[in-house]
Amino acid sequence: MKLKTGLIKILLLTAAAVAVQAEDELSPEKQISATASIPSKDVRVNSIGYKPALAKHATVVGDHGNAEWNIRSCADDSSVLSGKLSSAVVTSDSKETVQVVDFSALTAPGSYYLHVEGVGKSVPFCVADEVYNDSLELQMAGLYGLRCGMAVSISHGGNIFQHDVCHAADGKMDYVGGTGTIDGTGGWHDAGDYGKYMVNAAFSMGVMLKGWEDFSNQLAHVKLPIPETGGTFPDFLDEMKYELDWMLKNAAVYGDGRIPHKLTRIDFSGMVMPSTDKEDRYWVPYSSAATAGFTAVMAQAARIYRPYDAAYADKLQAAADKSYAWLQAHPERHDPDQAAFSTGGYGTSDSDDRLWAAAEVWETTGSPEALADFEKRAGSARRKIELSWGWSNLGNLGMFAYLSSERKGKDADLEKAVRQEVISTADSVVDLADKQGFGRGLDRYFWGCNGSVALQGMVLRAAHKETHEQKYLDGAIDQISHLYGRNTYNRSQVTGEGINPPMHPHHRPSEADGISDPWPGLLVGGGWPTATDWKDEMESYETNEIAINWTAAMVYLLGMFSEYTEAP
């Protein structure tokens, strides 16, 4: 029988919340005995749960010496595993004294909690093969909730999150040398605002399409609350197609391969629902970075969608070919003229985007010119694989495409160098996760750093593919654990899921819809400029905004460990 992990998670976390509420209502003389049943804020676990065969780590705040810990069954309170706390260390980022519990020896599926002598117990958690399936599908539902140009509705946690058709007049041509409009409807709202930005859209799609290439046997099973479900494509690819179709519309603005940098208002809207945002929205002049990212995604998607719809794949490939030809004919960097706009700038150099474009074009077409283009750029790159990376520094996507390709003709020395840097960078992630008291595989804090924590999953998976060493999978599990509660906040970083999740993200529908709970399945940015600076406040867009690229990273990370047993 399939374990209903989502229901178990809801019941366990609800029980923990009820226990806290019940304790508040007790008389003072009875509160002492009740305290033992209340989860301790100092015992921090992955509140979603763990895979049976992989790492299971928790963190206890403080120095409790050689105290004993026990894993206990939620069913009958029996102890199933015990041990002693590790030596205390001081975290390098939050400067807290902590001790680590390694209970990886627990492999039996079930519902458990961690009890630490003299400290207390954790919130309940699951151990199950399918433990991350519901979380993956919630992230995908979060993307569906960001759809622009159509009415959407999501049911979660007893609420209906919905908005009406929005931005149906996209987009005006005033700033790209034209008049009137060219259809720019569709796609995803990029972040907490309602703009649509090609640079970030391309990166987000690249991450998730790479997820499909790496884990399609599992992602093909994902079922989503979307109108297209049950159609020609698996639901996962249907959600990607909604964004792809918008990206394709960008190609019509210039018609020669150049791609607009973004489609937004002149300035940001107020905290209103998308359907009430009626200001004109404009195509913004092209950039070479946007054109290169578009090229990469079109080429990548062409090979992925071909088994399902050859005509659609041809359309994607034709768009990639035209934009790649433009890039080859115009090797200079071209930044967009955004002087009239105060919406998100997404300014970036284009060398990494061009590298990625060349890799994807070669992988799809076998073009020797594209291979030479990539290898020249990769050969001169200061680093082949970056530890901290994202939309503005996305060369890793090109390197991963090259390394995983089975095409012949690769430069053996370059391939070896990329492989070595994948492994050495993954080792850095694992080392950081082991040294940091909360398992975080990144040593910097910056705007959107939670997304970069999740992105470490791609580096770790690439290293595991090359070496088959389990430490890389265990390191990736540590990143999931960190984002779902094993952190300095003792809080999930994903709306609608896990222990005490964010309630006030910088996300306009969450603020404007009149529902106290935020829209679900959205990863917030995280602490910046230091570990302790995260604020669960709508106004704190620097730490509490949401964005499609961070969700994309979570989709890849959770997809790595998704496990479906039914037939596609």
Determine the 3-state secondary structure of 371 from DSSP.
helix
- The upper half-sphere exposure of residue 369, i.e. CA atoms within 13 Å in the direction of its Cβ, equals 6
Looking at CATH, the fold of the domain delimited by 5-127 is given as Immunoglobulin-like (2.60.40)
Contact 518, 504 (CB under 8 A): yes
Query: Residue 361 has what DSSP assignment?
Result: H
Interatomic CA distance for residues 268 and 540, integer angstroms = 15
Is residue 280 part of the annotated active site? The answer reads no
Query: What digits encode the pLDDT tens for the residues 1-17?
Result: 233 444 444 434 433 44
Question: 533: pLDDT confidence band, cut at 50, 70 and 90?
Answer: very high
- Is 469 annotated in the active site? no
Q: How confident is the model at residue 18 (pLDDT cuts 50, 70, 90)?
A: very low
Is-catalytic flag, 245? no
pLDDT reading at 32 higher than 70: no
Domain boundaries in the chain?
5-127, 133-559
Helix (H) or strand (E) run with residue 289 in it:
helix 288-305
The answer to whether the beta carbons of residues 437 and 189 sit under 8 Å apart is: no
Q: What's the rounded mean pLDDT across residues 139-163?
A: 97
| Confidence (pLDDT) at 567 | 52
Provide the 10 A C-beta neighbour count for residue 532.
Answer: 12
How do residues 116-132 score in pLDDT, each as one tens digit?
A: 999 999 999 999 999 99
CB 262 within 8 A of CB 287: no
Given 93, 170, 478, 536, the catalytic residue = 536
Give Cα separations from 513 to 161, 164, 268, 475, 494 (angstroms). 8, 11, 18, 38, 19
**pLDDT for res 324:** 98
Q: List, for residues 301-351, the tens digit of each pLDDT value.
A: 999 999 999 999 999 999 999 999 999 999 999 999 999 999 999 999 999
User: CA 469 to CA 476: how far, in whole Å?
Assistant: 12
Catalytic residue among 421, 506, 507, 542: 506
What is the tens place of the pLDDT at every residue in 343-379? Answer: 999 999 999 999 999 999 999 999 999 999 999 999 9
The 3-state secondary structure of 428-477, one letter per residue: HHHHHHHHCCCCCCCCCCCCCHHHHHHHHHHHHHHHHHHHCCHHHHHHHH
DSSP state letters, 403-426: HH---S---HHHHHHHHHHHHHHH
Kind plus residue range of the DSSP H or E element containing 90: strand 89-90
Domain range 133-559, CATH architecture:
Alpha/alpha barrel (1.50)
| pLDDT (0 to 100) of residue 566 | 67
Q: What is the pLDDT of residues 65-87, one digit of tens each?
A: 999 999 999 999 999 999 999 99
Q: Is residue 524 within 8 Å of residue 450, measured between CB atoms?
A: yes
Q: Tokens 């007893």 map to which residue?
A: 158
Task: Check if the beta carbon of residue 56 is closer than 8 Å to that of residue 106.
Answer: yes
Instruction: Determine the average pLDDT of the residues in 205-229.
Output: 97
76 is catalytic: no
Res 92: pLDDT? 87
Give the three-class secondary structure for 282.
strand
> Percent of the chain at pLDDT above 70?
93
Catalytic residue among 193, 352, 360, 386: 193
Long-range contacts of 381-386, Cβ-Cβ distance < 8 Å, separation of 24 or more: 381/355, 383/421, 384/417, 384/418, 384/421, 384/422, 385/418, 385/421, 385/422, 385/424, 385/425, 385/459, 386/425
Nearest CA to 520 out of 537, 503, 534, 540 is that of: 503
Distance, CA of 400 to CA of 246 (rounded, Å)? 26
Residue 36 has what pLDDT? 52
pLDDT at 568: 43
pLDDT for 261 beyond 80: yes
Distances (CA, A) of 518 to 521, 522, 558: 9, 9, 21
Q: Sorting pLDDT into bands at 50, 70 and 90, what band is 565?
A: confident
CA distance 244 to 316: 9
Per-residue pLDDT at 41 exceeds 80: yes
**Per-residue confidence (pLDDT) for residue 306, from 0 to 100:** 98
Q: How confident is the model at residue 436 (pLDDT cuts 50, 70, 90)?
A: confident
Q: What is the pLDDT of residue 22?
A: 34
Report the chain's mean pLDDT, rounded to a whole number. 93
pLDDT score for 424? 98
Indicate if the pLDDT at residue 33 is higher than 80. no
Give percent above pLDDT 90 in the chain. 92
Q: Is a pLDDT exceeding 80 seen at residue 55?
A: yes
CA 481 to chain centre: 14
